[in-house]
Amino acid sequence: MTYGVFRLFLLAALLTWLAQPASALTYREVTYTCPLDGRTFAYQAVNSYSQFGMQLDLRPTGALVAPIPMPVCPDSGFVVYRDDFGDEEISLFRRLVQAPEYRALREAETDYFVAAHQAGKLGEDAWTIAILTLQATWEVQEMPERYGHYAALAITRLEEAGKNYSLDGETGEQWWTVKLLVVNLYRRLGEFDTAARLLAALPYSKESEGSSFRTVGERLANLIARKESAAAELGPGEGQ
């Protein structure tokens, strides 16, 4: 299990999620064991929620919390972004959390930002690191200065992940997802010229009617033309 990490989540899903019965956001207390030191602690896990839409940065909207809170070890501040770490990985993380760099990061940054740092130290794949960083931007969406720092880093890491994908072939959806996320992040940062240039290079207008990539591309083009940098949402059925 991975806590809140969209390992395979693609932008195509923006227009294809299933309608859910309305449900309030509720939590349940879970007793969790830190994989580094064996200490048990209480963790408030999400129990139920309702999703009604999604922003262009994949952040879901509705009666929910996004990103989903992850367990955090109380002594070390280690963020448990997976529950399947092996012995060698745990040994590496035990050393990592003792480093002054980590302790300073833990005090200054959000859980998902720290999780992305941990994933990088472990040598996780570029997509996992990029998506953890993207989700960290959701945590600071209402904090402009921090958002700018997180979003710029998310762009770099998404572009790194995108080197593994191509428009043609089995990784076409991943390619589109990375490209459109990067355009949207530049728009959110107010770098409209760069966003417009990158979007113009994408063949979204050649996609079929109703294609999620075409819908998102057209929405981005409209927002960029109006120089709107605020978070933007696509609701269920939009573009269909």
**Taking the domains of the chain in order of start, what are their residue ranges?**
11-168
Position 50, amino acid = S
When the pLDDT of each residue in the chain is averaged and rounded to a whole number, the result is 89
Tokens of 30: 């879970």
Tokens of 58: 């994949």
pTM, to two decimals: 0.89
CA distance 112 to 135: 7
High-pLDDT (> 70) share of the chain, %:
88
- Determine contact, residues 57/134, Cβ cutoff 8 Å: yes
Q: Quick one: three-class SS letters along 183-213? A: HHHHHHCCCHHHHHHHHHCCCHHHCCCCCHH
Tokens of 237: 């059925």
Residue-wise pLDDT for 5-60, tens only, equals 443 355 555 544 445 566 788 889 999 999 999 999 999 988 887 878 889 999 98
- Determine contact, residues 67/29, Cβ cutoff 8 Å: no
CA distance 139 to 229: 17
Q: Nearest Cα to 39, choosing from 80, 5, 98?
A: 80
**Residue 28 backbone dihedrals phi, psi, to 5 degrees:** -135, 145
234-238-239 Cα angle (round to 5):
120
Residue-wise pLDDT for 116-150, tens only, equals 999 999 999 999 999 999 999 999 999 999 999 99
Q: What is the mean pLDDT of residues 83-87?
A: 93
